Every structure is written in structure tokens, then in C-alpha cells.
Amino acid sequence: MFSIITAMKAFLNYEYMITPGVLKILSYIAMVIAFIAGLFTAFTVQLWEGLGVAILGPIIVRIYAELMLVIFELHKEIKKIAAK
């Protein structure tokens, strides 16, 4: 019981970040959407442009998500340093 109260207190005081987990889930969804959109474009509009989107779209989404996650990792490390 005590650990639930402690966890809830940390969550409500913004000591625990939920955004990195949400960001990972959203990036996986965005990668799938980019791939499907690329295939749809390849078969309906332009073959090479669609294949480019299907291949490069998920890579670009991954790079963008990693850059955003670096900020959260920096925050975590700075908190560790400040606690010393």
C-alpha cells in the first residue's frame, strides 16, 4: 500500500515522466502509418516517390523520436547529478 502512495505522489509531483513511453508508442504508430502511406502512394500515384516514403518515412520518424528522447535522457542524468 505504501509503495502505491509513494508512486502516486511521484507521479502527481511530476517526478516521473510518462512522455518518453507515450512518445515511443506514438513513434511506432507513425512509422506504420508512414510505411502504409508510402505503399499507398506507390501503387496509386508514383511508384518511386511512394517507395521513397515507405523506406525513408519510418527512418525519419525514428530519428525525430530519438532526438526528442535525448532531451528526456538528459533530464534524467541532470537529476542524478543534482541528487549527488
pLDDT digits (tens, 9 = 90+) for 40-55: 999 999 999 999 999 9
Q: For the chain, what is the mean pLDDT?
A: 91
Q: What's the full length of the chain, in residues?
A: 84
In which band, very low, low, confident or very high, does the pLDDT at 1 lie, cut at 50, 70 and 90?
Answer: low
For range 28-39, the mean pLDDT: 96
For range 44-73, the mean pLDDT: 95
Contacts of 24 (CB under 8 A, 6+ apart): 65, 69
Phi first, then psi: what are they for 63, rounded to 5°? -65, -45
When comparing pLDDT for 70 and 10, which is higher? 70
What is d(CA 33, CA 29) in angstroms, rounded to the nearest whole number? 6
pTM: 0.79
In which band, very low, low, confident or very high, does the pLDDT at 2 lie, cut at 50, 70 and 90?
Answer: low
